[in-house]
């Protein structure tokens, strides 16, 4: 199991680590969900591990450097919290 020190060597902040791990864990979940459909649209886990939990697999991938952290800038960059949808509050 990866330690926080190993993980922090791969990213610049804890927020970035949480965001990256959550995103990769969702990709792993999507991969396992589509296995029966034969679509092959998602990347399988990049390492062999005893864990069957997608978040643990994602953290191990990050610690071993299998996941490359790429900073997007310019027009490709999106707001860091863009994945949070508007709750539809019309009181403003």
The verdict on residue 59 lying in a domain is: yes
Report yes or no on 86 lying in a domain.
no
Does 53 reside within a domain? yes
Of 27, 34, 13, 32, which is closest to residue 67 (Cα–Cα)? 27
Highest mean pLDDT (candidates 4-8, 20-24, 49-53, 63-67): 20-24
Domain assignment of residue 8, given as a range: 4-66
Query: Is residue 60 domain-resident?
Result: yes
Secondary element (H or E) of residue 27: helix 14-34
Count of domains in the chain?
Answer: 1
In a domain, 14, yes or no: yes
Q: What is the DSSP string of 50-75?
A: S---HHHHHHHHHHTT-SPP----GG
Is 77 within the bounds of a domain?
A: no
Residue-wise pLDDT for 17-52, tens only, equals 999 999 999 998 888 888 877 666 777 788 787 778
Look at residue 57 and tell me if it is in a domain.
yes
């Amino acid at each position: 199991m990866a330690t926080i020190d190993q993980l922090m060597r791969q990213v610049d902040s804890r927020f970035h680590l949480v965001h990256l791990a959550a995103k990769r864990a969702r990709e792993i979940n999507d991969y396992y969900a589509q296995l029966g459909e034969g679509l092959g649209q998602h990347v399988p886990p990049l390492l062999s591990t005893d864990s069957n939990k997608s978040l643990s697999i994602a953290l191990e991938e990050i610690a071993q450097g299998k996941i490359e952290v790429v900073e997007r800038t310019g027009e490709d960059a999106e707001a860091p919290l863009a994945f949070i949808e508007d709750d539809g509050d019309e009181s403003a």
